[in-house]
Amino acid sequence: MATPAAPPAGSRREQILAVAAQLFARRGFHGVSIADLGAAVGVSGPALYRHFPGKEALLAEMLVGISEHLLAGGQALAAATTDPHELLASLVEFQADFARREPELIVVQDRDLANLPAAERQKVRRLQRTYVEIWVQALRRAHPGLPVDAARTAAHGAFGLLNSTPHAGRTSEAAALLRRMALAALHDLPRASGPPPPWTAENHNG
């Protein structure tokens, strides 16, 4: 049997970002030096400055990048269906898959966001809020009359469950259980009276 061809290697910049995510997750942002990063990717520390002006810029690209990825994915899912229950199921699967594939980024995002420069930190927060609002609108359409604050709390609770996927063991059964728990929590919310908010998928695509 022929050996499958190896996938093409990513760019050096992408390699640096991937290695930095691993080191930052393991040691913390302040526990990793430029020399450490260079050694991990096989170049001198100063050579890294050809790709990033410093650790803060590297962290910024990492966290802005994952926030943009999550928002773009959420927007695509919201545009693909007008059924809020179907959308919630898709969002849960999307977030769980991201947490499973990128556990280091989950750790870095939770722990090291405060180490970003102010402008980049604000950008990440803005992207995150917009992503959360996709979940909030889906929840309020699935549960007519649900207050905004309650929907937002429910969304953040689901994130807490799903982002713990990497810590639940490597079994697919554990990951599937967390997905089911998150989806059940989102569907089992108190009923409230009142009409559902209007569907405004176009607001998520701007």
pLDDT tens per residue across span 137-170: 999 999 999 999 999 999 999 999 898 866 655 5
Residue 5 clears pLDDT 70, i.e. is over it: no
Structure token pair of residue 93: 């699967």
Cα–Cα dist 83/159, whole Å: 21
Same domain, yes or no: 109 and 182: yes
Same domain, yes or no: 115 and 185: yes
Cα–Cα dist 189/142, whole Å: 10
Same domain, yes or no: 187 and 164: yes
Structure token pair of residue 135: 């979940």
pLDDT of the residue at 166? 64
pLDDT, average across residues 181-187: 90
Same domain, yes or no: 22 and 118: no
pLDDT of the residue at 50? 87
Same domain, yes or no: 107 and 40: no
pLDDT of the residue at 179? 87
pLDDT of the residue at 205? 54
Same domain, yes or no: 110 and 17: no
4 in a structural domain: no
Residue 117: CATH number of its domain: 1.10.357.10
Same domain, yes or no: 196 and 158: yes
2 in a structural domain: no
Cα–Cα dist 130/124, whole Å: 10
Report how far Cα 27 is from the mean position of its chain's Cα atoms.
20
Same domain, yes or no: 68 and 89: yes
Residue 135 clears pLDDT 90, i.e. is over it: yes
User: Between 86 and 188, whose confidence is greater?
Assistant: 86
Same domain, yes or no: 66 and 48: no
Residue 187 carries which side chain, given as an amino acid letter? H
What range defines the domain where residue 37 resides?
Answer: 10-52
1 in a structural domain: no
pLDDT of the residue at 197? 52
Residue 193, phi-psi category: left (phi > 0), alpha (psi -120 to 50), beta (remainder) = beta
- Interval 43-95: pLDDT, tens: 887 888 888 999 999 999 999 999 999 999 999 999 999 999 999 999 999 99
Candidates 193, 197, 167, 184; CA nearest to 92 is: 184
Residue 117 clears pLDDT 70, i.e. is over it: yes
pLDDT of the residue at 108? 95
Cα–Cα dist 57/62, whole Å: 9
By three-state DSSP, how is residue 5 classified?
coil
Same domain, yes or no: 74 and 30: no
Residue 3 clears pLDDT 50, i.e. is over it: no
CB-based contact 66:95 (threshold 8 Å): no
79 in a structural domain: yes
User: Between 198 and 102, whose confidence is greater?
Assistant: 102
Same domain, yes or no: 87 and 185: yes
What sections of 28-146 are H helices per DSSP? 34-41, 55-80, 84-101, 103-112, 118-142
Residue 20: CATH number of its domain: 1.10.10.60
5 in a structural domain: no
192 pLDDT band, cuts 50/70/90, is: low
- Interval 6-54: pLDDT, tens: 334 448 889 999 999 999 999 999 999 999 999 998 888 788 888 899 9
Cα–Cα dist 115/117, whole Å: 7
Burial code of 133-149, b = ≥16 C-beta within 10 A, e = fewer? bbbbbbbbbbbeebeee
